[in-house]
């Protein structure tokens, strides 16, 4: 499981959407929670592809680093994550191109048929 998650994160860090999706089950569910509130949700690989492709332009560079990893049986894991990113564009909230951000969070993963079926990202 750790190898599968490492392949997903490596592809994410390289902004390689096809390689990211190669780690996903066709019925993958992705959820993003900010301060405990669900902010983004996709169902199925096509919705996730659309989200991933439409988000690429936001960052000039980005990376997730696993700082701790826990497996829960054969089909679930949790990773503590450090995220660093540099924005590529100015955003309406006042963030400017070239500005960097860093934050911690965690990601929960579930696996089915050797592929990621569920990813939930949590940040403050």
Query: Cα torsion for 18, 52, 20, 122, to the nearest 10°?
Result: 180
Q: Residue 33: which CATH number? A: 3.10.450.50
- Specify the pLDDT at position 78: 98
What's the confidence (pLDDT) of residue 80? 98
- In which band, very low, low, confident or very high, does the pLDDT at 124 lie, cut at 50, 70 and 90? confident
Which residues constitute the domain of residue 82? 2-123
Residues 55-96: pLDDT tens digits? Answer: 999 999 999 999 999 999 999 999 999 999 999 999 999 999
Q: Identify the three-state secondary structure at position 9.
A: helix
How much is the mean pLDDT over the chain?
A: 96
Please tell me the pTM assigned to this model. Answer: 0.94
Number of domains the chain is built from = 1
């Amino acid at each position: 499981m750790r190898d599968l998650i490492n392949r997903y994160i490596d592809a994410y860090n390289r902004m390689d959407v096809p390689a990211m999706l190669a780690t996903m089950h066709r019925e993958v569910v992705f959820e993003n929670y900010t301060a405990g509130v669900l902010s983004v949700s996709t169902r199925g690989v096509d919705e996730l592809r659309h989200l991933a492709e439409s988000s690429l332009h936001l960052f000039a560079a980005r990376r997730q680093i696993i700082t701790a990893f826990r497996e829960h049986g054969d089909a679930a894991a949790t990773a503590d994550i450090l995220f660093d990113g540099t924005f590529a564009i100015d955003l309406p909230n006042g963030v400017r191109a070239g500005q960097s951000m860093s934050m911690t969070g965690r990601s929960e993963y579930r696996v089915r048929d050797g592929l990621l079926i569920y990813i939930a990202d949590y940040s403050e």
